[in-house]
Every structure is written in C-alpha cells, then in structure tokens.
C-alpha cells in the first residue's frame, strides 16, 4: 500500500475515539460542553482546532480535513459546505479594498462571478492568458494570482512551478483549483502553490451525493481564514457530508484509475473521429500541454471537452439529445457519465471572453464500460459536420 492509499483508507481511523468502528462515528451534536467556564473560554480562543460548536469544527469533519491535508502534503485543511464556500472564503481572506487579483487562464464560472461581486468592495481583477499577460497586467496593488490546471472547459495545462515562481518573486500569494486532478494525480503545494482549493462534490466525494469544498495549505494562511471567513460566512461542512468525504476517499485510488482508463479510451476515439474538430484532454499526446502534464501530473481524470465540427447550437443540442449513456447535467466525478455544452446555457459574450466555441461539448466519463460509451458517442455523431 503506497502512502496516498494508506492516507485514503487508514489515516486517523485506528485512534481510540473510533472505538474500533469500521466507519468513523458521525458526531451529530451542534455543540460541545466543558467542565469549567475557564475551559470553555480557552476552547473558544482556539476554536479552529477545539470542538466548541458545529460552525467551527467537529471530530468527523476534522478527520476528513486531516486526510485531505495529508494527501495534498499540506499542513492544514478546512472543509466547507460547498466548493464556492471554500473559494470565496479563501479569496476574501487574502484581499482588502483597493487590492487587485490576477486570474490566469479560464477558471470556474462562479469564481469569476465572485470576483465581479468583490468589485463593489473595491477589489478588482484582470483575466490573462499567460505569464506574458501577467507581466503586462500586474499592478502595485496586485496581491493574488488565481488559476486552475488543467483549466476550466479548455483543459489547458499550466506549468505550475514556473507560474508559482513568477508569483513568489513578486510577493503574490498563489491559489490553485486542483479539483480536476484530485490530490492523487497532482500535488500543487509541492510545486510552490500557496493554497489549493477543491470541490469535494466531484471525484473525492465520487457518488454525486454531497456538496462540499476544501482549502489546503500552510497553517499561517489556514488559521486566520478558519477563525474569520470560515466562521463569519457560515459555510460549515456538516459531519454527515464529512463522513461521505471519508467514504469517498477510501475508494478514490481505485475509482481514479478506472476514470483515467475509460476517459483516455473515449478521448482517443473522439480524437480520430471526422465529426470532431479537436479534443481537449491533457492525457492525449496531441494536447499542446501534454509534455508539461506528463512532468507534473501522476495521472489524468476523465473530464474533458471536444469541439464538434459545427457552428450550430441546434446541431450541438441534437448531438446531446441523441446520447443514451451520457446523462445531461452539470457537475462531474461520479459513477454516471455526463454531458453539457456551454453554448446552450452561457451568454455569447461570456463565451467569447472565455474563448469557448459554439461546438464545445464537455464530457464527464463515468465508470460505465468504455466500449458502451464509445458506441453511444459514435451513433450521436452521425450527421454532425462533415458527416452530414
């Protein structure tokens, strides 16, 4: 058993408080009591680590946090009630009125929406495509560099060590969303990233039955965030969802291996199909960032996009409607394969800003047999573009 597998399956699960239970107990109580008033006061002053009230932390949540921190090779982790809870609290903890944020590459849509929301509090941001753009857009007031790798929808690969080195030389804090890879396939903290965020609703939860988020990094950044933004925003993770995170982690290594295998099989089929202009999957040798990905990643998940050979929204919708194994819906990372297309739900101006063509379709390859998924896609592609 390698270190990550041991963390996922056993870390913290042999301690006395577990009482030998095969599944960690779920502490449902909203508060904890103390023998003396002095003990309560001491606990409140250290509420990010002491058990006082559900909104602070809880033994079940704490176990999930310990596992996630260890997987990312970080000192501390803080779990939230949603991925956006983690992202918004993390960004808020690092900026003040008058500050500026650099956003490198395409990022999750609601993250951009939150940055726009912060404008009314005097926090501005600039989207750039590469480090040359960062050099041009950086200001004296820039405090934070935010990015994803692989990036949102386009799945472009960032050279993490290069980017974080650039940020460190300029005194910026770097925050990266690592949801796509999970901590098994990529460990950004070891490449210089200051804080890593995840949506736990995706591969880590793995069963489309929870919503959660986490931020992981050094104690010097996590502690003030835990005592302030976490407490004040109230996006606390429930112990029930923390138990689902723990159960999801137990099977994460096995599931990610299967997702990788099936995802690459489907992506390879699509990459050779005449009805498809391009496939955005970093695991394909044809991907522009493949060499960098091979250097900094230990594997590939099964979320990627393809660009159909069409400029018609109607043809994109017809393709999606013809699919039978792929269910139509948002999110990703569970057993079920999912399909979605920004052109059907995103304003044209927003798509243009993000560089998303009409024919882009996002696939989340689940754990169904790859041959069944490939057959499904092949039938749906009949009549698309050059095959019409």
CA distance 263 to 366: 8
- Reading the block at residue 336, the tokens are 């079920």
- Reading the block at residue 202, the tokens are 């995706």
Confirm if 223 and 76 have CB atoms less than 8 A apart: yes
DSSP per residue over 292-327, as a string? HHHHH-S---SEEEEEES---HHHHHHHHHH-SSSE
Task: Write the burial class of residue 148 (CB in 10 Å: 0-12 exposed, 13-18 middle, 19+ buried).
Answer: buried
Confirm if 93 and 228 have CB atoms less than 8 A apart: yes
140 flagged as catalytic: no
143 flagged as catalytic: no
202 flagged as catalytic: yes
Catalytic one of 67, 78, 202, 362: 202
309 flagged as catalytic: no
DSSP per residue over 59-82, as a string? HHHHHHHHHHHHHTT-SEEEEESS
- Reading the block at residue 310, the tokens are 């069409």
Catalytic one of 177, 194, 241, 309: 177
Catalytic one of 55, 73, 313, 322: 55
Catalytic one of 108, 146, 155, 203: 108
CA distance 21 to 214: 25
Residues noted as catalytic: 55, 108, 177, 202
């Amino acid at each position: 058993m390698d270190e990550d597998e041991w963390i996922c399956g056993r870390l913290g699960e042999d301690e006395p408080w577990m009482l030998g239970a095969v599944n960690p107990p779920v502490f449902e109580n909203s508060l904890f009591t103390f023998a003396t008033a002095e003990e309560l006061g001491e606990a409140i002053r250290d509420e990010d680590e002491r058990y006082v009230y559900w909104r602070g932390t809880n033994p079940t949540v704490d176990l999930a946090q310990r596992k996630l921190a260890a997987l990312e090779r970080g000192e501390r982790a803080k779990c939230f009630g949603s991925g956006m809870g983690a992202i918004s609290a993390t960004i808020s903890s690092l900026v003040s009125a008058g500050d500026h944020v650099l956003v490198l590459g395409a990022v999750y849509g609601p993250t951009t929406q939150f940055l726009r929301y912060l404008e009314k509090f005097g926090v501005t941001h600039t989207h750039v495509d590469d480090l040359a753009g960062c050099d041009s857009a950086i200001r004296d007031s820039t405090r934070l560099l935010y990015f994803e790798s692989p990036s949102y929808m386009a799945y472009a690969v960032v050279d993490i060590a290069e980017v974080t080195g650039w940020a460190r030389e300029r005194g910026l804090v770097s925050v990266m969303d690592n949801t796509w890879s999970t901590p098994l396939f990529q460990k950004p903290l070891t490449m210089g990233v200051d804080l890593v965020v995840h949506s736990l609703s995706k591969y880590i939860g793995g069963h489309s039955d929870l919503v959660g988020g986490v931020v992981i990094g050094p104690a010097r950044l996590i502690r003030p965030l835990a005592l302030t933004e976490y407490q004040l925003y109230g996006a606390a993770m429930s112990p029930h969802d923390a138990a689902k995170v723990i159960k999801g982690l137990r099977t994460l290594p096995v599931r990610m291996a299967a997702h990788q295998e099936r995802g690459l099989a489907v992506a390879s089929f699509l990459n050779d199909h005449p009805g498809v202009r391009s496939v955005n999957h970093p695991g394909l040798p044809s991907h522009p960032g493949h060499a960098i990905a091979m250097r900094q990643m230990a594997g590939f998940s099964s979320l990627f996009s393809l660009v159909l050979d069409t400029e018609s929204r109607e043809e994109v919708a017809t393709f999606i409607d013809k699919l039978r194994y792929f269910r139509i819906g948002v999110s990703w990372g569970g057993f079920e394969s999912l399909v979605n297309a920004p052109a059907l739900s995103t304003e044209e101006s927003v798509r243009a800003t993000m560089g998303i063509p009409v024919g882009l379709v996002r696939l989340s390859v689940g754990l169904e047999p790859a041959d069944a998924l490939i057959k499904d896609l092949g039938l749906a592609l009949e009549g698309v573009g050059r095959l019409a």
